[in-house]
Amino acid sequence: MEDCIFCKIIKGEIPAKKVYEDDELLVIHDVAPGAPCHVLLLPKKHMRNIMKADPDAVKYIMGKVGDIARTLGVDESGFRVVINTGIDGGQSVEHLHFHLLGGAKLGWPPC
């Protein structure tokens, strides 16, 4: 999708603070963090949301979560992975992305 902000970040058209990158995934720091550690895992292939996602891409990304958590130093203390979907689910960018949050005790419920 041409006007998708995450696609522009993935293409390097918009700068971002990168944590990890490979051929299928880009991980960046969230610009408005909701926790001391808050990164976004962005599949490089544009998919609107989890309902439209390629299951193999989701499997690949979830397989990287542990490595990313270790890189960020939240693997031992704990973290949360969130996928917002749709307006009521809090999705603000229509490009599938995973939030990895940690670095503090996270509350529940989220709203």
Q: What are the residue numbers of the active site?
A: 97
The structure tokens listed for 98 are 């995973």
CB-based contact 99:90 (threshold 8 Å): no
CB-based contact 11:78 (threshold 8 Å): no
Q: How far is CA 107 from CA 2, 20, 110, in A?
A: 36, 27, 7
CB-based contact 86:92 (threshold 8 Å): no
Task: Tell me how far apart the 2 most distant CA atoms of the chain are, in Å.
Answer: 39
